[in-house]
Structure 1
Amino acid sequence: MSTRWRPLVRDSLLAGARGLALCLLSIGASLALFVLSVLSMLLILLGVGVFTTPLVMTWVRMHANQRRLLAAQWSGVSIPPPYRPLPRDLRPGVTGMVERTTVLIKDPATWRDILWLLVDAIAGFVTALLALAPLVYGLEGLLIMAGLWVPLSGGYWYAVVPVDGFGSALLCGLFGVLFLSLGLAANRYPLQAHFLMAKSLLAPTRGAQLSQRVEQLYETRHDAVDSSAAELRRIERDLHDGAQARLVAMGMSLGTVESLIEKDPAKAKEVLAHARSASAEALTELRDLVRGIHPPVLAERGLGDATRALALRMQVPVEVDVELPGRFEEPVESAAYFSVSEVLTNAAKHSDATQVWLDIHYSKAAGGMLRIAVTDNGNGGASLHKGSGMRGIERRLGALDGVLAVSSPSGGPTLVTMEIPCEVSRARG
């Protein structure tokens, strides 16, 4: 077989195998769960459904989430979950079961899931079967031509051909080649249609998206307020414990100099030198504090040069690739800079990496997107749920509608990606 056709044949056979798996899921799991869901809802009238509905709906959502995962992995179709979060203060016992059932019944996504189960058991089965049928039917035609499938003695039809002799068997072979060619060329499209149909029912409606957006904005607003308050407390603590204490000590030293300058000039000179040293240390601490609030290089030179300067200060070698068309709004540059700083610091402290790669690019697609990727060759194991650093980055980016993703299998490598929707505020001169 020519190397040109191998990828096509491989992809077609893979689509056929996936179609078979989806057929079994549609006609088996979807149909069974639809029957269980309807029965459980009807049993609510008798009181029994209060206990069965939460369990059945858990199975339904697991089945729907599995289909979402397959849609993303097999066809690149993204189907976000639309479910409302369950209250955290549900009471135990029968009362809690009643509350849980009530919440599930009031969630429109529950009814859309049940409708999807029925549609998937019928139309979903058909579309999945279309990804497999041309290959199987074409293979049957070739087997008939070879005399390995049915006797060439009449009583059997293949497509529009009655199998009654060698001539009809040859015709079956021609039809088999036609069906196989059709399957090899187009059986991926029914698979795509299967997942697009699932998306039309499993994805959030516009109302649900708006509701989720309002909830997200509510959370990010509180996160932004909390972050600002924490930052102010940090600045106050650093000033109180650092520069302020040194300035007070320096004032006391100058008072001592006043009393010693005539009695013991040598001692006064020694105290004065100590005060000068303390003033230099206080100035250094104030500069570090100001740099922590908003680095001067970030304000003067922009995100690209600021991250390059940041990479030079890291203990681990950092290879930087920055391609930006200009400057962005100050909150965007600040959030991106401090997020990169946190990720690079984590890589230097915890990953045992010997090399880090930092890529920052801007895409004009979809209104503009700043994309940042930090990769290291360390031992992996990073997670959004470990420590407060990643959660802090997530909150910082969330205030700007940004997203954070971490891929860090055990043994490495670790890839941290950040995306911030934004527009160029000032083009590069």
Structure 2
Amino acid sequence: MNTNAKSDGFRTRAREVVLAAVQGLVLALAVLPFSVLFLVLTLVSVALIPLGVGIVTTPWILTGVRALADTRRRLAAEWCGIRIRTAYRPLPEGANPWTRTFGMLRDPQTWRDVRWLPVDMTAGFATALLPAVLLFYPFEGFALAAGLWRAMAGGPYGPYWYGFVPVSGQATAFAAAALGAVILIAAWRLTPRMLTAHFQLTRSVLDAEEGELVERVRVLTETRRDAVDTSAAELRRIERDLHDGAQARLVAMGMDLGTIEMLLDKDPDQAKKLLAQARQNSADALGELRDLVRGIHPPVLAERGLGDAVRALALRLPLPSEVSVELSGRAEAPVESAAYFAVSEVLTNAVKHSGAERVWVDLHHADGMLRITVTDNGRGGAVTGTGSGLAGVERRLGTFDGVLAVSSPAGGPTLVTMEIPCALS
């Protein structure tokens, strides 16, 4: 058993070493030359901006630089588990070349990408190639000891140098093989680490720690402003509903009661009619107040939690629905409220616009994240553009660092995923 374990460990380590060497060789020979190309293109395109040509070419070239950097970030995560953060500033949709050019040039992340190109051409190339050199160079020393030295050594140029060993005979060829064995041992220990060092070097230049914080502050500022605007709009709605609804009915009921007081002795029958009307106005006003309170914070949400509140929401839909809930506790009240109204808006959109025959809702909590998915089998085509209900949902979730993702191809189905970081009590 112990022998088998050692054999498995040896094979696993051998695979790691060979894989790291091959991956480094791929980076050095296939990927890194693009750094030279894009650096030259970037410098030329930026230099041509005063002539107007660069206004057109620079966005395309910088987009290519960004794609190259994103590829290296992805490889760093997949091959060595190294996360390299980004903080690109968003560009307006449909922006003209002038806006795109200077928007990208004002982005600090763009300049991190550009500064990375010369580093990648030099130190990045060396650290990517070194794992392959460490692994494959020793075999030249072994070949020299096996007799290759006779073809390589001697001649008008003197001995053949293997590392620091001058090979001119069989004895020095064995010395070259010994040096190769030392290098192979070093490769066995260091090759995966050297590939990791390459990506750590990449991260030291590309990582957007400060930029990520700046971008986070910008997003939080926007979402806070949206939250304030939403709150102000909600207060105006409540004021309008109270003024036009319950308040008007209460005023009418007060007037009816005053009239009833005058008619009570003169015309009891008319007084009874007005009294019935006042009773109906009071019932309508109470109903409107309940609806208003439910719109502010549904009682079932406060009493039973998010899962039951969404179930109650689904029961009022005019189409069949299925709700799956896996929540081990309750989130904070503001998070539950945001999630509830986000689901309510998504379901409303599905009913109004999708032409769906069925809706599925799934709520669960994992890895510190509340995840909600709403799926319908409608016609698809949902977008999160400005003016859509989903844009409002995105802003609502953004207040809590939440995100919204929409998959809605033409012909359906539509899958809306919402995630809010939170802990359950």
Q: Which residue of 1 aligns with 2:390?
A: 390
The reply to whether residue 108 of structure 1 matches residue 108 of structure 2 is yes
Cα deviation for residue 234 of structure 1 reads: 0.5
Cα deviation for residue 120 of structure 1 reads: 5.9
The reply to whether residue 306 of structure 1 matches residue 309 of structure 2 is yes
Q: Which residue of 2 aligns with 1:35?
A: 40
Assess, with a 3 A threshold, how the Cα gap between structure 1 residues 374 and 265 changes in structure 2: closer, same or farther: same
Assess, with a 3 A threshold, how the Cα gap between structure 1 residues 59 and 193 changes in structure 2: closer, same or farther: farther
Task: Give the secondary structure class of the aligned counterpart of 1:327.
Answer: coil
Cα deviation for residue 252 of structure 1 reads: 1.6
Assess, with a 3 A threshold, how the Cα gap between structure 1 residues 340 and 191 changes in structure 2: closer, same or farther: farther
Assess, with a 3 A threshold, how the Cα gap between structure 1 residues 194 and 411 changes in structure 2: closer, same or farther: farther
Assess, with a 3 A threshold, how the Cα gap between structure 1 residues 107 and 264 changes in structure 2: closer, same or farther: closer
Assess, with a 3 A threshold, how the Cα gap between structure 1 residues 256 and 129 changes in structure 2: closer, same or farther: farther
Distance 1:346 1:338 in 2: 12
Gaps of 5+ in 2: 1-21, 131-150, 152-193
Q: Which residue of 1 aligns with 2:378?
A: 378
Distance 2:83 2:405 in 1: 16
Distance 1:197 1:273 in 2: 82
Q: Deviations over 1:95-124 (max 9, x none)?
A: x79x965x7656433332224445666898
Q: Which residue of 2 aligns with 1:272?
A: 275
Distance 1:395 1:410 in 2: 25
**Root-mean-square deviation (CA), in Å?**
4.3
Assess, with a 3 A threshold, how the Cα gap between structure 1 residues 121 and 49 changes in structure 2: closer, same or farther: farther
Assess, with a 3 A threshold, how the Cα gap between structure 1 residues 279 and 358 changes in structure 2: closer, same or farther: same
Distance 1:129 1:290 in 2: 67
Q: Deviations over 1:326-380 (max 9, x none)?
A: 12211011101111111111111111111111111111x2xx1111111111111
The TM-score, its normalising length taken from structure 1, stands at 0.67
Cα deviation for residue 32 of structure 1 reads: 2.9
Q: Which residue of 1 aligns with 2:420?
A: 420
Q: Deviations over 1:163-202 (max 9, x none)?
A: xxxxxxxxxxxxxxxxxxxxxxxxxxx9999999866655
Instruction: Indicate if the aligned counterparts of 1:54 and 1:104 stay in contact, CA closer than 8 A.
Output: no
1:263 equivalent among 256, 263, 266: 266
Instruction: Indicate if the aligned counterparts of 1:23 and 1:128 stay in contact, CA closer than 8 A.
Output: no
1:228 equivalent among 227, 231, 234: 231
Rg bigger for which structure?
A: 2
Instruction: Indicate if the aligned counterparts of 1:246 and 1:282 stay in contact, CA closer than 8 A.
Output: yes
Distance 2:382 2:54 in 1: 37
Task: Give the secondary structure class of the aligned counterpart of 1:310.
Answer: helix
Distance 2:121 2:92 in 1: 32
The reply to whether residue 286 of structure 1 matches residue 286 of structure 2 is no
Assess, with a 3 A threshold, how the Cα gap between structure 1 residues 40 and 65 changes in structure 2: closer, same or farther: closer
Q: Which residue of 1 aligns with 2:190?
A: none
Q: Deviations over 1:251-295 (max 9, x none)?
A: 122222222222222222112111111111111010000001011
Describe how 1:10-409 pairs up with structure 2 within 5 A.
27=33, 30-41=35-46, 43=47, 49=50, 51-67=52-68, 81-84=86-89, 107-118=107-118, 201-204=205-208, 206-363=209-366, 365=367, 368-385=368-385, 387-409=387-409
Amino acid at match of 1:352: G
Cα deviation for residue 59 of structure 1 reads: 2.0
Instruction: Indicate if the aligned counterparts of 2:338 and 2:396 stay in contact, CA closer than 8 A.
Output: yes
Cα deviation for residue 388 of structure 1 reads: 3.5
Q: Deviations over 1:380-422 (max 9, x none)?
A: 1111116331121111111111111111111111111111111
Identity fraction in percent: 57
Assess, with a 3 A threshold, how the Cα gap between structure 1 residues 344 and 193 changes in structure 2: closer, same or farther: farther
Distance 2:199 2:359 in 1: 38
Distance 2:319 2:87 in 1: 42
The TM-score, its normalising length taken from structure 2, stands at 0.68
Assess, with a 3 A threshold, how the Cα gap between structure 1 residues 266 and 104 changes in structure 2: closer, same or farther: closer
Distance 2:313 2:243 in 1: 27
Distance 2:220 2:349 in 1: 28
> In the comparison of the two structures, how many residue pairs are matched?
348
Task: Give the secondary structure class of the aligned counterpart of 1:322.
Answer: strand
Q: Deviations over 1:198-220 (max 9, x none)?
A: 6665552x111111111112111
Q: Which residue of 2 aligns with 1:135?
A: none
Instruction: Indicate if the aligned counterparts of 1:243 and 1:286 stay in contact, CA closer than 8 A.
Output: yes
